[in-house]
């Protein structure tokens, strides 16, 4: 046997095994490459979803801040309204507490003027004169009392006007806070709409990422299966290569032994006949003789 030759069946089995192993490697590597692409697509979807979630986090923080502002504005508005109602109730109770003496003063002044006119222009008896003088003094006394009441009324009226101005200021402040509440509610509605608008995108991205992840797992499972097959086949190919190499080594050793015997025989003529017999024996084992 030529050292470079191996049995046909072994050579064919080894060649087929190596071809199948290369094919399995190609399929495994191809699946791994596909899995890599799918994994990158999955990670890209996760990155997009993460970016949207971060945007939502910022929006939620902004929304929370606006809610706090709205609560504060509502509290101030309600406080102003409560104070305004309290002052309004106080004002209504006090409004009739002091009567306006204007009408009484006008009547008294008119009566006093008439009495004084009669006293100055008409002839009167002593008794009638004393009566008119007495009435004049009484009217003057009442008029002075009414004037004192007018000072009290004016003080009261000034106080009521001050309360009314305070009530109007509280109402103005309440309206401003109510306006802030409405503006904040509009901003909150806008933020809520913004959050609602991205929710479908989040669901879509999560669904697509899950699909890509499942596809990635399936590809990896197939690649792992081919890898396992390649390991099993590789062991067989390694065994076949080992058998081939062993046969070549044995054939070479046999050929070297044959050549050594022949070479020794040629150097010693007496052993030539024995060498020829051994050569024939080796030839019968399908070896070759080198001279």
Q: What mean pLDDT value characterizes the chain?
A: 81
Phi/psi at 100 (5° precision):
-75, 120
C-alpha 171/C-alpha 169 separation (Å) is 5
The kind and range of the H/E element at 180 are: helix 126-267
pLDDT digits (tens, 9 = 90+) for 52-94: 999 989 999 999 999 999 999 999 999 999 999 888 887 777 6
Dihedral sign for Cα 270, 272, 278, 284, please.
negative
pLDDT digits (tens, 9 = 90+) for 27-55: 999 999 999 999 999 999 999 999 999 99
Q: What is the mean pLDDT of residues 165-185?
A: 92
pLDDT above 90: percentage of residues in the chain: 35
What pTM was computed for the model? 0.53
Output the pLDDT for position 288. Answer: 46
The kind and range of the H/E element at 32 are: helix 8-95
Output the pLDDT for position 100. Answer: 47
Is residue 103 over pLDDT 60? no
Per DSSP, the three-state class of 66 is: helix
| Domain residue extents for the chain | 8-284
Cα pseudo-dihedral 34, 40, 46, 50, rounded to 10? 180
* Residue 104 CB neighbours (<10 A): 16
C-alpha 203/C-alpha 268 separation (Å) is 95
DSSP 4: T
pLDDT digits (tens, 9 = 90+) for 235-291: 998 998 888 888 888 878 887 777 777 777 666 655 555 656 665 665 565 544 444
Lowest mean pLDDT among 12-21, 107-116, 158-167, 250-259: 107-116
Is residue 141 over pLDDT 70? yes
């Amino acid at each position: 046997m030529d050292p470079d030759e191996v049995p046909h069946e072994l050579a064919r089995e080894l060649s087929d095994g190596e071809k199948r192993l290369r094919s399995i490697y190609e399929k495994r590597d191809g699946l791994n490459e596909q899995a890599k692409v799918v994994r990158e697509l999955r990670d890209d979807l996760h990155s997009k979803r993460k970016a949207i979630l971060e945007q939502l986090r910022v929006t939620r923080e902004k929304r929370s801040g606006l809610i706090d502002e709205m609560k504060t504005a509502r509290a101030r508005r309600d406080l102003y309204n409560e104070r305004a109602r309290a002052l309004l109730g106080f004002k209504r109770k006090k409004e009739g507490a002091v009567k306006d003496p204007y009408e009484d003063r006008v009547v008294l002044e008119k009566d006093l003027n008439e009495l004084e006119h009669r006293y100055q222009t008409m002839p009167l008896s002593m008794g009638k004169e004393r009566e008119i003088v007495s009435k004049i003094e009484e009217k003057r006394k009442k008029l002075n009392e009414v004037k004192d009441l007018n000072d009290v009324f004016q003080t009261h009226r000034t106080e009521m006007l001050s309360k009314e101005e305070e009530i109007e200021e509280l109402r103005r402040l309440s309206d401003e806070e109510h306006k802030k509440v409405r503006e904040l509610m509009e901003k909150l509605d806008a933020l809520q709409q913004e959050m609602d608008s991205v929710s479908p995108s989040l669901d879509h991205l999560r669904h697509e990422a899950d699909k890509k992840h499942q596809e990635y797992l399936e590809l990896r499972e197939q690649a792992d299966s081919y890898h396992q097959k390649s390991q099993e086949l590789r062991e067989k190919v390694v065994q076949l290569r080992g058998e081939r190499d062993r046969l070549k080594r044995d054939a070479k050793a046999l050929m070297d032994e044959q050549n050594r015997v022949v070479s020794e025989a040629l150097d010693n003529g007496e052993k030539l006949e024995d060498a020829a017999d051994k050569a024939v024996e080796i030839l019968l084992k399908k070896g070759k003789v080198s001279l």
